[in-house]
Structure 1
Amino acid sequence: MHAFSLVFVLAAISSILAHPVHQEQRREIRVIGREQSTKVVARETSADLELLSTGNKAFRDNLAATDPGLLKKLTDEGQSPPFMFLGCSDSRVSEGTVFNAKPGMLFTERNIANQFQSSDTNSQSVLSYAVAVLGVKHVIVMGHYGCGGVAASIASTPRTQIDAANGAVQNWIEPIREIFRTSDRPEIVELRTKNAGKTDIEEPEINEPGFRALVEENVKASHYALLKSGAANSTTITGRSGENGPIGDVFIHGWVYDLANGEVRDLGISVGPPGKTIPTAPVSAVAKSAVNSVDAHATPRKRCERLCMAKRSLSGFFGKTVG
């Protein structure tokens, strides 16, 4: 009886969703064998989906004209991307679009506010696979000005009862809230001071200096957390197997994207194997004050401790990759 009911419901829903409607309609479906009814909202979605279909055709036509053998090559030989990209899930910062990249160029991990957290097994596995199996040459952590996750970490936490979905987001951005609470970067300190005493703090304007600074500091935090990660330790890297051969040098960069003009900027925090020259990224650099902000207000001892920790992390990350 229950199986029949399920078939009946699916058939009814399919007929409703397939019916051409131009305004939202709410219909009630009476489920056989149940007292309560199920309400289904039917919307006209064919026009929206047509955008994706049209885009896919344009993608295929463009590849056929510019690189007709690429897809077959990737299918036959597998992937060997030179880059791993850690970015934000924001629909405005798709890495394939921002870098005009073809298939096979970027191995990607995206999440809210481009974070790399030690407890996130997804990010850890992506990093490990990218470096230890695929042999990427560059790992790029890229944030973007106007990031909603960073903005939410500045605003007051919701006062009303938080549902499961909102709670997950609030938990995820807590590390960024901690950066905002503790950072000694002048722009962030100024914004924090301005917000002090307010009971209802709204998300900042996109050009607020403290907001932009926090976007940059969040990239640096993920960059540093990635360096300390055990997902790509020396054992994993030197033990890499596969068709791509022995592991090569890996360089880790921190960039930021400007929504307003589409420009990618370098935060100047790139690192690589000890003794190796770090390739210069042919992108604009952020203001020098922003690059140096991490150490600008630290004591000499604190700067030394940070440098030593970074060196230890790099040695663990790159292991025997230095010849």
Structure 2
Amino acid sequence: MLSRIATFLGLSLITALASPVHIGIADGRSLAMIRDVPAPPEITALLQGNQQFRDDIATSSDPTLLVDLAKNGQKPDFMFLGCRDSRVSEGTIFDAQPGTLFTQRNIGNQFNESDNNVNSVLAYILAYLTVRHVLVVGHIGCGGVGAAIASAPTPPLPRLSFQAWVQPIRELYQTSDRAEIVALRTANAANTTVAAPPLDNPGYIALVEENVKRVKSIVSSQHWAAYAANSTALEPVFVHGWVYDIRNGSLYNLKVTQGPPGVAIS
């Protein structure tokens, strides 16, 4: 009896899928009608980009790259902690192949020990992956840094979760003794409402850099402490601070690299 019911349901499903009857959608359209609608050009461009990516891999010096990664797993040398900004895609700015960078991105490229997401990424790369370099990469014109300089928006604009997220950068802006930041803070002191500065403002750039320099928060975290306690038996991992300039595509090193105790910086 059950097998007959299953057969009947299966045949019914096949008949329904093959039937020209349109299944209604809330606005009166049907699934068949939706299938006939061409994809928006922006979606088409993405899909064409995917095809180009596959074509490039197939004709590259390593055409089996994707198959090898799928079969053998990832062994990245780098963890990338960067900003969510769409202009700072790590695969693009490094022209990197799949399998190169284990990535965590958030607004303002921040490491906060109360953030379970970034902590789980750090714990994972230290315990399970081959990562040897953690790259903290900020960028010129960072919206999170700009928002930390500007006045917080007033309701009804949504602000609570975002403003809470950039609060550590705001505190850095309010307390830093770096000359460029002090000058910007002084210039803004007389203004009732402060806007984000232009991206080439020296104080803005300085705050981007000082925010990146907080790589020390990574090497003072509990996961790093656990790694450092056993670092003599492990491959050394180094944490670097870089800035990406969206105006010309270049990267520069802030030379704030941190490593495990007793290991020369590289």
State the TM-score, normalizing by the size of structure 1.
0.70
Partner in structure 1 of residue 177 of structure 2: 184
CA contact (8 A) 1:118 1:229 kept: yes
* 1:88 partner letter: C
Is the aligned partner of 1:227 residue 2:181? no
Is the aligned partner of 1:260 residue 2:254? no
Partner in structure 2 of residue 49 of structure 1: 43
Superimposed CA distance per residue, residues 153-189 of structure 1 (whole angstroms, 9 cap, x where no aligned partner): 10111123343xx321111101110000000000000
Aligned residue for 2:261, secondary structure, equals: coil
- In the TM superposition, residue 127 of structure 1 has moved relative to its aligned partner by 0.6
How many Å separate the matches in 2 of 1:162 and 1:227? 36
Is the aligned partner of 1:69 residue 2:64? yes
How many Å separate the matches in 2 of 1:232 and 1:261? 34
1:159-308 mapped onto 2 (5 Å cutoff): 159-163=154-158, 166-221=159-214, 223-234=215-226, 238=230, 247-279=234-266
- In the TM superposition, residue 12 of structure 1 has moved relative to its aligned partner by 4.2
- In the TM superposition, residue 53 of structure 1 has moved relative to its aligned partner by 0.6
* 1:108 partner letter: T
Unaligned runs of 5+ in 2: 1-22
CA contact (8 A) 1:114 1:141 kept: yes
* 1:206 partner letter: L
Q: Would the alpha carbon gap of residues 251 and 141 (structure 1) be closer, same or farther in structure 2, given more than 3 Å must change?
A: same
Q: Would the alpha carbon gap of residues 247 and 76 (structure 1) be closer, same or farther in structure 2, given more than 3 Å must change?
A: farther
CA contact (8 A) 2:122 2:223 kept: yes
How many Å separate the matches in 2 of 1:149 and 1:271? 24
CA contact (8 A) 1:132 1:232 kept: no
How many Å separate the matches in 2 of 1:275 and 1:238? 12
Q: Would the alpha carbon gap of residues 162 and 138 (structure 1) be closer, same or farther in structure 2, given more than 3 Å must change?
A: same
- In the TM superposition, residue 225 of structure 1 has moved relative to its aligned partner by 1.2
Aligned length: 241
CA contact (8 A) 2:216 2:258 kept: no
Aligned residue for 1:87, secondary structure, equals: strand
Aligned residue for 2:181, secondary structure, equals: helix
Percent of residue pairs bearing the same amino acid type: 48
Is the aligned partner of 1:140 residue 2:135? yes
How many Å separate the matches in 1 of 2:226 and 2:149? 37
* 1:113 partner letter: G
Q: Would the alpha carbon gap of residues 225 and 134 (structure 1) be closer, same or farther in structure 2, given more than 3 Å must change?
A: same
Superimposed CA distance per residue, residues 222-241 of structure 1 (whole angstroms, 9 cap, x where no aligned partner): x11111111233269849xx
- In the TM superposition, residue 11 of structure 1 has moved relative to its aligned partner by 8.0
Unaligned runs of 5+ in 1: 1-6, 21-43, 240-245, 280-323
Aligned residue for 1:116, secondary structure, equals: coil
Q: Would the alpha carbon gap of residues 59 and 269 (structure 1) be closer, same or farther in structure 2, given more than 3 Å must change?
A: same
Match of 1:125 among 91, 113, 120: 120
Aligned residue for 1:91, secondary structure, equals: coil
- In the TM superposition, residue 277 of structure 1 has moved relative to its aligned partner by 2.5
How many Å separate the matches in 1 of 2:106 and 2:143? 12
